[in-house]
Amino acid sequence: MTATTRKDTPVVIEGDGVELRVQEFGGDMSVAFMKLPAGADLGPSLKGLADDLCPCPHWGYLFKGRLKMRTPDGDDVYEAGDAFYWAPGHAPAALEDCEYIDFSPSKDFNEVIEHIKAQGG
């Protein structure tokens, strides 16, 4: 069995109020703790990926705030207390200060993280 806390999970991206902490579990899945300040838009950091959107699926829970998720089918808004599944093909923008946890396939998520880092994010 494996467990972690936000505090014990390594920071992989940090700056301008954005904080992404990620821990891989068993090589197949990762847990991510994300903080996004109001107004943060990850869309520009996803440019260059398929359709300029995140190609990785995520399952999670929004603890705090409101988040707009742009998709090819239109925008969806998530609020604190929502459990979610984000299919491949999305770009988040924080409408309020947000905090959430999500679970994703490690390989896919690591590719997205490396792309964002290369964009200066």
The pTM is what? 0.93
At 57-112, the pLDDT tens digits run: 999 999 999 999 999 999 999 999 999 999 999 999 999 999 999 999 999 999 99
What integer pLDDT is reported at residue 121 of this predicted model?
Answer: 62
Q: Number of structural domains, the chain? A: 1
Q: Looking at the domain assignment, is residue 95 inside a domain?
A: yes
Neighbour tally for 119: CB within 10 Å? 14
Average confidence score pLDDT of the chain: 95
**Residue-level pLDDT at 26:** 79
Residue 109: its H or E element: helix 106-118
Is residue 50, in this structure, part of any structural domain at all? Answer: yes
Q: How far is CA 12 from CA 1, 15, 71, in A?
A: 23, 10, 25
Give the model's pLDDT for residue 2.
81
92 or 121: whose pLDDT is higher?
92
Domain range for 64 = 11-118
Q: H or E segment at 11?
A: strand 11-15
- pLDDT number for residue 86: 97
- Give the pLDDT confidence score for residue 27 in this predicted structure: 77
Amino acid, res. 117: K
Distance from C-alpha of 70 to C-alpha of 9, rounded to nearest angstrom: 27
Write down the residue that tokens 């847990």 correspond to: 31
Q: Could you tell me the CATH number of the domain that includes residue 70? A: 2.60.120.10
1 pLDDT above the threshold of 90 = no
Longest distance between any two alpha carbons in the chain, whole Å: 39
